[in-house]
Structure 1
Amino acid sequence: MWAWVRKRDPQLVVVRRAVRVTLVACLGFYFCRYVLGSATMAPYALFGVVALGALSQIPGSPRQRARTLIAVLPVGWVLVSFGTLLSVTTWAAAAGMFVLGFAVSFAGVGGPRIVGLAAGMQLLYILPCFPPYDPSSLPERLAGLTLAVVLLAAAELWLWPDPTPPSYRQRLGDAVSALAGCLRALADDRSRLAALLPEATDAADALRPSRLPPTERPASAGRCDRALSSAAGTARLLLGRVVDLYFTDDREAVTGPAATKLLRATAGCVEATGAWLRAEGPLPDTDRVTAAIADFRIARMNTPPDGLPPERLHLGALALSLGEWTKTLVVAVRLAAGERPQRVDPAGQFWYADRRDAFLFWHRLRENLTPRSVAFQGALRLAAALAVARLIAGVLDLSHGFWVLLTILTVLRASAAETRSTLRPAIAGTVAGSVVAALLLILGLDPLVYVVALPLVMIAGFAAGPLLGLGWSQGLFTLVITLVFAQVTPVDWRLAEQRVADVLVGAAIGVLIGLFAWPRGGGGELHRAAGTFLASSAAVVRETVAVMANGQSPGDALPRARFAGQLAEASFALYQSERHPAATIDWQATLVAGHHAVRGAEALVKSCPAGGLLPCVTQLTTLAGSVAGCYDRSASALQRHETPPRPPSATSQQWPDDLGQDLYIIADLRVWLDGLREDLINVTGRPEPGDDLRDRVARVADGAT
């Protein structure tokens, strides 16, 4: 048995949490019930621990989790107080459930720490919002909750604490250090790259949101998480460019020696960045890579490109993009370290660099306050379900009606199909647990039996969900509730019958709300959001070439595309939490195509002069229009829930070779545009296996978390 548990829970995280929550809950419950003699404090001491210890998923080390628990205690007081006061009438309680239910759930857009607390915080309002209406009991209820939180925070520190998971900064450091090895090999010995790339690809792949638990993703609205997310996306872009450069013929490259020097400087800068992220070196700066980029540009200026075929300029353009993105990587890491730059471009990638976290949290809320946001959809769906359940429970005068709402928190999922899939185990487990509970109550056992059995059943119940499934956890939790109420109020076997009835009502409400409120979940919204992102990326392509070729003033294409990318990433994160059949669309590659367009445009507009390419404006506009048209067609297909068509091959054009230094800028633009066309090919997968190195890196997502 123990070997089976260790196989499913190697670090015993589930078992540790079950034991910790059980001991703290029982200690608080028994102290309030049998030492203080308060039947009012006892349930709040127990359910406060269940809400914040079992239903909540708080990320971080034991010390960080303890601080989080203490920090949210005032919010818990507010929710219990509102629940107590609004229980005066059914309509007041239901209205409060809708408003607070939406607010608590929607606040999760601020980051995984808030998301992890949402379900538990909902319970802190649900429990007191049912009769009896007794405002005089509020001090005892708050005292019970305070005792629960303080004991739980202490237990996180000293009672069999969980092992501290690797931080995202450490994971990023591993990926950046592996990337530095690839860059070093690219500059000094290309034959070593094939051996180094698998490790670098695995490390970069480990940063993908789908590879991380939701609580460990750098997804908060604060500056640090935004910067870490940007650094991870830039590192993945760099890895893809390394492979592109590996397959570029360098034998006749016109700026080969200067490019090699730039690569060495880039590798050293990336190494220093990885060392700091792994706490093995000082914070890097951009001086070295900035100087190397300047030297490379000087070398290009001293090498006239007139009369040279474009292929001989390709390697230099790729090397320059590596240098520019390395500088972006370092800037992002310095922001994550807490640096506040003196000058910030309000329309640039790091627009948030001088903003306070409170403002950024409010900005994130406003961004998602739209029906197109999956966070808004999920919060509204849950709030409506809980409010309807509270109203029905009050109108029908259901005994222990909070079980109806607790069932909704348990079974309601992002899509109607996912919700239906949870019903069978939830109902089967509840019925089985209720039968056992009824038998115990019919037997009329000594009350001491309930006292002894409660901690044993609680440990099994809290561990059963993650290890055995929803049915087992529902069945055992039914027993837990029976054992608790048997010690608080007189009960008989009908308590088990009421539990089954309430679960059925809650399940029915959850299914109906799921059918009427965005029933497709993340899958339906992902098609629309990804299509909007690609359409916005097409506008970025057209605007970037217009700015650089004929001096058009920059518009709002880049900010719009960044915002569309954030909504697409949120939709994809929800999509990953659901079960879906095999898709014909590679969603990671779809998001990569959008992010490459945005990141590449930012670097080009920042590093190249505007309006200097009029002699070549026709060719560039034609090429940009072709690539943007491919993006538009893919976007339209996605929004119609169809598979995007494969982009056609680029048509050959006659490019001038007598424009002097402008030929280098044209090469930079062509490298970017040709890469975007290749990105779109990956959306539906290549028809035949490509080169192994390219295939591996093509699967590494670029999107921000």
Structure 2
Amino acid sequence: MTWLGVPAVRRAARVTLVACLGFYLCRYVFGLPAMAPYALFGAVALGALSTIPGSPRQRSATLIAVLPVGWALVTAGTLLSVSDWAAAAGMFVLGFAVSFVGVGGPRLVGLAAGMQLLYILPCFPPYDPGSLPQRLAGLTLAVVLLAAAELLLWPDRTPEPYRERLAKAVSLLAACFDALADDWSGREGRSRLAALLPEATEAAEALRPSRLPPELRPASAGRRDRALSSAAGTARLLVGRAADLYFLEDREAVTLPASARLLRAAAGCTDTVAAWLYGKGPLPDTDRLRAALTEFRAARAATDPSGLPPERLELGALALSLGEWTKSLVFATRIAAGERPRTPVGEGMFWYAYRGTPYLWWHRLRENLTPRSVAFQGALRLAAALAVARLVAGVFDLSHGFWVLLTILTVLRASAAETRSALKPAVIGTIAGSVVAAGVLLLGLDPTVYAVVLPVVMLTGLAAGPLLGLGWSQALFTLVITFVFAQVTPVDWRLAEVRVLDVVIGAAVGLLIGLFAWPRGGAGELQRAAANFMAASAPVVRETVAVMARGAQPAGALPSARRASLLAEASYALYQSERHPGAKVDWQATLLAGHHAVRGAEALIRSCPAGGLLPCETQLTAAAEDVAACYTRAAAALRRGDPMPDVPPPVPVPWPNDLGQDLYIIADLRVWLLALRDDLAGRREPVGTAEAKATQPADGAV
């Protein structure tokens, strides 16, 4: 493999070529020294400090699209450098805004650090509004050259699109459904399902945001990404339901033939979804699945369940929920394709399908505008550190004070522990680079030597960070800065001394802010967010049973739980990006328990008649309260920092046998409630196993 086969080296080579070409054109061809630093640092900001997802064409288009924002930041920095207080205030406001808008998607997250630098560079003295045209021209030259380089110079391979990852998971899910249908139809399918389940589970889990690099997550505020994320979550739940059905071997189940036909239709729908996601088939619809669900319900209506034990109804209830979730998967896929349903459904699972893009962006910003959001915390922490550093640099009249702020961008992490771990290599690398730089400057070399050596040192420095670590990149970048300023203004060996001082001050400010502003990072917020999600799931259980049993009006439990889930998932994604020696809690399983409560409730309320179970309202309410109490206990334990508590045996509730067709709805509720208990216990056992082991009642239990 050649060095250009390494992505980090290719990227470093592109940025080096663009930065040096822009710098040399401005400095030696155009004779505009005020323009040259912006051509160089503009390329570094958007090429090295930024991570832009997508294909080379998409990255190039993104660079051109953000150019006006870069102009605004350079203009604001130039004008606010009139005083230290104005520059620091601007740094706080713009620093927060640039970081916080990252909640809108991975493209904005990847651009945040680079865009911060576009304000930092001009916000220091000298106050020279007259040089603004040259500064903007330098930035424009850098962006245009960088956009062209993305297309023409060693373009990176396009990463596997999220759609293809989702297609793989859905394709394996379809194969699982087909194997189940074969098994239920009397053909060999059980061994095939046993072989498929591990692969399908891994493919579905690989879709979790915490398992993906930030730039590949479907995390934007728009309908498409929201729908893809919803489809992935539904696919994960469907795989879990397929595992439940694998463990549930019941040849005497009521409506087994109808269940097999429903599974066959679900397999066909998911296979069509996978084909569309791969770009090899038409957009799927729910007509076939809707007909299969109608047929299944008709088959249940034609069979009187009175007097039957609950186990005889369990498989059908599981199959029905699988069919309903498959319909949700198809619906989410159609929204991802750009379809806007004609009939609004209020604040349900797909509320975003009926909203315009501006509203969705505002909604995303508003729901994260809380101290409990890790995005809000991170943006506020960084903004405060940058503003304090700018004020310190101005008050003490630090030469080249922007190095202080650049150090904060380099070392400040989500937690105080992560920040401390970055400080040592950053400071040691800077000192080492400064010693070498001072020695070079003492030689009194001609500036032409610096111009010749600059590309080599810059290429090595930009590649060293990803390949060798922060210390090497800081050492080599110190040399880069030295060689750049040696070509713009007269310098001596004290420039290296100033560099060390600025880095130490920046590191100290970053460390102090990190210690006082949410020092635990993702771990602390995840504990709170997961507890809130568990606590919000308890009312979902109570409310769903109340709606189904006595026709109560929903009181907002589902929207509240959805909001809590968003904060919990964001906290978990940040937690996964940090280093943790060990966890007392299986966070992934914990969040799954919450999602299962929300998704199951949505499916039940959507598909089952409400208010028809008054004769057994007391029993159902007791069963719901039993499960809700498990969620409440889990929330309390998480708030204390304890592991998830053991789930006690379910409270035995007499199983009614004289309600006719309503027994099927009770079976649907019972299966959901027992599955929630299994989720909280961290087990993947067949639904009902825990109850059978604990109580083994003669007449069953809800």
TM-score (norm 2): 0.96
Q: 2:695 maps to which residue?
A: none
**Range with bigger deviation, 483-492 or 192-201:** 192-201
Q: 2:697 maps to which residue?
A: none
Contact 1:187 1:264 in 2 (8 A): yes
Deviation (angstroms), 1:452: 1.1
Is 2:172 aligned against 1:178? Answer: yes
Alignment partners' CA distance in 2, 1:164 and 1:578? 26
Q: 2:700 maps to which residue?
A: none
Deviation string for 1:352-400 (max 9, x for gaps)? Answer: 0021222211110011111111111111110000000000000000000
Q: 1:286 maps to which residue?
A: 286
Is 2:62 aligned against 1:68? Answer: yes
* Counterpart pick for 1:80 among 74, 77, 85: 74
Deviation (angstroms), 1:184: 0.5
Is 2:123 aligned against 1:129? Answer: yes
- What amino acid sits opposite 2:252 in the alignment? E
- What amino acid sits opposite 2:228 in the alignment? L
Q: 2:478 maps to which residue?
A: 478
Alignment partners' CA distance in 1, 2:202 and 2:681? 23
Deviation string for 1:199-226 (max 9, x for gaps)? Answer: 2122212212222111110011110000
Q: 2:694 maps to which residue?
A: none
Contact 2:34 2:135 in 1 (8 A): yes
Alignment partners' CA distance in 2, 1:361 and 1:141? 31
Deviation string for 1:262-291 (max 9, x for gaps)? Answer: 000000000000010011111100111111
Q: 1:327 maps to which residue?
A: 327
Q: 2:453 maps to which residue?
A: 453
- What amino acid sits opposite 1:93 in the alignment? A
Structure 2: any 5+ residue segments left out of the alignment? 183-188, 690-702
SS in 2 for 1:519: coil
Deviation string for 1:289-323 (max 9, x for gaps)? Answer: 11100000000000110110010000000000110
Give the count of matched residue pairs.
681
Where do residues 423-442 of structure 1 align in structure 2 (5 Å cutoff)? 423-442=423-442
- What amino acid sits opposite 1:184 in the alignment? D
Deviation string for 1:485-512 (max 9, x for gaps)? Answer: 0111111000000000000000000011
- What amino acid sits opposite 2:677 in the alignment? R
SS in 1 for 2:330: helix
Is 2:35 aligned against 1:41? Answer: yes
- What amino acid sits opposite 1:517 in the alignment? A
Deviation string for 1:571-602 (max 9, x for gaps)? Answer: 11111111112101000001000000000000
Q: 1:499 maps to which residue?
A: 499
- What amino acid sits opposite 2:662 in the alignment? D
Q: Would you identify which runs of 4 or more consecutive aligned residues in structure 1 move more than 2 Å?
A: none
- What amino acid sits opposite 2:675 in the alignment? G
Alignment partners' CA distance in 1, 2:209 and 2:368? 19
Alignment partners' CA distance in 2, 1:337 and 1:537? 31
Is 2:299 aligned against 1:299? Answer: yes
* Counterpart pick for 1:31 among 6, 25, 32: 25
* Counterpart pick for 2:155 among 156, 161, 182: 161
Deviation (angstroms), 1:690: 7.7
Q: 1:547 maps to which residue?
A: 547
SS in 1 for 2:352: coil
Alignment partners' CA distance in 2, 1:569 and 1:196? 28
- What amino acid sits opposite 1:298 in the alignment? A
- What amino acid sits opposite 2:294 in the alignment? A
- What amino acid sits opposite 2:52 in the alignment? I
Q: 2:409 maps to which residue?
A: 409
Contact 1:536 1:564 in 2 (8 A): yes
Where do residues 177-326 of structure 1 align in structure 2 (5 Å cutoff)? 177-188=171-182, 189-326=189-326
Q: 1:561 maps to which residue?
A: 561
Alignment partners' CA distance in 2, 1:244 and 1:644? 22
Contact 2:210 2:572 in 1 (8 A): no
SS in 2 for 1:56: coil
Alignment partners' CA distance in 2, 1:477 and 1:649? 62
Alignment partners' CA distance in 1, 2:221 and 2:408? 28
Contact 2:244 2:685 in 1 (8 A): no
Identity %: 75
* Counterpart pick for 2:100 among 102, 106, 116: 106
Q: 2:692 maps to which residue?
A: none
Deviation (angstroms), 1:250: 2.1
Where do residues 517-532 of structure 1 align in structure 2 (5 Å cutoff)? 517-532=517-532
Where do residues 298-697 of structure 1 align in structure 2 (5 Å cutoff)? 298-682=298-682
Alignment partners' CA distance in 1, 2:7 and 2:318? 46
Alignment partners' CA distance in 2, 1:233 and 1:205? 9
Contact 2:247 2:685 in 1 (8 A): no
Deviation string for 1:135-173 (max 9, x for gaps)? Answer: 000000000000000000011011111000010001100
- What amino acid sits opposite 1:619 in the alignment? Q
Contact 1:549 1:611 in 2 (8 A): yes
Alignment partners' CA distance in 1, 2:679 and 2:685? 14
Alignment partners' CA distance in 2, 1:138 and 1:217? 37
* Counterpart pick for 2:83 among 77, 84, 89: 89
- What amino acid sits opposite 1:612 in the alignment? G
Alignment partners' CA distance in 2, 1:447 and 1:142? 26
Q: 1:702 maps to which residue?
A: none
Alignment partners' CA distance in 2, 1:486 and 1:242? 66
- What amino acid sits opposite 2:117 in the alignment? L
Contact 1:344 1:350 in 2 (8 A): no
Contact 1:32 1:41 in 2 (8 A): yes
TM-score (norm 1): 0.95
Alignment partners' CA distance in 2, 1:198 and 1:564? 30
Alignment partners' CA distance in 2, 1:213 and 1:374? 17
Structure 1: any 5+ residue segments left out of the alignment? 695-705
Alignment partners' CA distance in 2, 1:497 and 1:611? 77
Alignment partners' CA distance in 1, 2:364 and 2:210? 22
Note the aligned Cα RMSD (angstroms): 1.2
Alignment partners' CA distance in 1, 2:12 and 2:616? 68
Q: 2:186 maps to which residue?
A: none
